[in-house]
């Protein structure tokens, strides 16, 4: 939204409009869903003025009121589903990873969490008829897991028919059997993955805010941001806030971070995919003692929770632990050199 339209809000002059835009409040909707305290702290605007601006934006953007279930159903038609390219997993998830939702994937080391984020960074770029969302990816890397070589493997692992269609769509001359054409196609896929390494929890929170700006910049482009991957969500928080005395502060910061990601997904119709570490519950006498860290804050914030666990060889069990509209269940996939594949 152009800055001069923000000036239509009561109390917003040119200087205030500049502050709002510089701090990511670029539309009526992004202002309407902010809190006065947040706007006051980030945009250096008095809390009373921020409250007036937010209320005016809510009226202008027509948010915050009640609507019928039929209207909600109609709006949900805009939600995209990102395919895993594995029928059994897609069926388990009701079609794939949803936009405007947080999907959490947790599991022990080596269970395939980072493989899922890399695969989705590739799949999201495919057109809807091939299970993608015709969009780009933002990858927040907190554990030094992102590897462009893995993207290379996974692009090569796509079906030849899909590869040929992608070459035609991206105006690359050649065939999947042509090495030079494949290198050009892989470079095109990598160009639509925006990677940032998070050095600590504060930096990670900042990167989520920057991701919102980047999504806004690409909103009207040929490749809008359709997935944000955070691998892993909890590593820095777990390392920096140790012991029960620091638990409350850790959970508060994690809660803010999750709400920033939620807002990004809602504003730009983007899927949020986060990986999570696990701990072993010593009080568990029966069943699997593995539990996701992050507590109830993360449990309530995640729309879909997926537990990955190792099986024989390269097999992985994908278990849907929690979803608002789907039954719990399990599916099997393989983690192979060319990516995630059916059993």
CB-CB contact of 330 with 92 (8 Å): yes
11 marked among binding-site residues = no
The verdict on whether residue 114 carries a ligand-binding annotation is yes
Name the one residue in this structure whose structure tokens are 């923000």. Answer: 6
Q: Is 25 annotated as a binding residue?
A: no
Closest among 193, 297, 276, 189 to 231, alpha carbons compared:
276
Handedness of CA 64, 70, 72, 77 (dihedral sign): negative
Look at residues 77, 78, 35, 28 and name the one whose alpha carbon lies nearest to residue 56.
28
* Residue 278 contacts residue 108 (beta carbons within 8 Å): yes
Could you give the C-alpha distances from 330 to 89, 92, 260, in angstroms and in order?
A: 8, 7, 30
Token pair listed for 222: 């040929």
Q: How many CB atoms lie within 10 A of CB 306?
A: 26
Q: Alpha-carbon distance 304 to 297, whole Å?
A: 14
Residue found by looking up tokens 């800055």 in the block: 3
DSSP 12: -
CA angle 114-118-123, nearest 5°? Answer: 140
Angle, CA of 270, 70 and 320, to the nearest 5°: 50
The answer on whether 304 is annotated among ligand-binding residues is: no
| The pair of three-digit structure tokens given for residue 32, joined into one six-digit string | 């309407």
For 122-159, b/e burial (b = at least 16 CB within 10 A) is bbbbbeeebbbbbbbbbbbbbeebbeeebbbbbbebbe
Instruction: State yes or no: 107 annotated in a binding site.
Output: yes
Task: State the binding site.
Answer: 107-114
Task: State the binding site for ATP.
Answer: 107-114
């Amino acid at each position: 939204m152009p800055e001069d339209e923000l000036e239509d809000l009561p109390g917003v002059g040119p200087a205030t409009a500049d502050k709002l835009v510089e701090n990511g409040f670029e539309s009526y909707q992004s202002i309407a869903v902010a809190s006065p305290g947040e706007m006051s702290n980030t945009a250096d605007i008095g809390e009373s003025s921020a409250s007036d601006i937010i209320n005016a934006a809510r009226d202008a953007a027509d948010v915050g009121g009640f609507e019928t279930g039929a209207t909600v159903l109609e709006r949900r038609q805009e939600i995209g589903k990102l395919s895993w390219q594995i029928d059994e997993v897609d069926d388990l998830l009701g079609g794939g990873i949803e936009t405007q939702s947080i999907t959490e994937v947790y599991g022990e080391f080596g269970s395939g969490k980072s493989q899922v984020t890399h695969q989705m960074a590739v799949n999201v770029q495919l057109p809807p008829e091939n299970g993608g969302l015709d969009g780009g990816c933002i990858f927040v890397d907190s554990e030094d897991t992102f590897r462009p070589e893995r993207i290379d493997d996974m692009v090569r692992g796509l079906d030849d028919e899909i590869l040929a269609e992608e070459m035609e769509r991206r105006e690359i001359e050649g065939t999947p059997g042509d090495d030079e054409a494949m290198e050009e196609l892989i470079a095109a896929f990598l160009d639509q993955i925006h990677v940032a390494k998070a050095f600590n929890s504060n930096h990670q929170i900042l990167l989520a805010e920057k991701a919102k700006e980047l999504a806004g910049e690409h909103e009207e482009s040929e490749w809008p941001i359709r997935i944000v991957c955070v691998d892993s969500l909890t590593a820095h928080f777990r390392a920096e806030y140790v012991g029960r005395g620091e638990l409350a502060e850790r959970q508060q910061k994690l809660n803010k971070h999750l709400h920033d990601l939620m807002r990004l997904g809602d504003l730009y119709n983007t899927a949020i995919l986060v990986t999570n570490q696990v701990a072993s519950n010593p009080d568990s006498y029966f069943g699997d003692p593995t539990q996701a860290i992050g507590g109830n804050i993360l449990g309530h914030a995640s729309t879909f929770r997926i537990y990955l666990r190792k099986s024989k060889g390269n097999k992985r069990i994908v278990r849907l632990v929690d979803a608002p509209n789907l039954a719990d269940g399990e599916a099997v996939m393989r983690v192979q050199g060319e990516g995630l594949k059916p059993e």
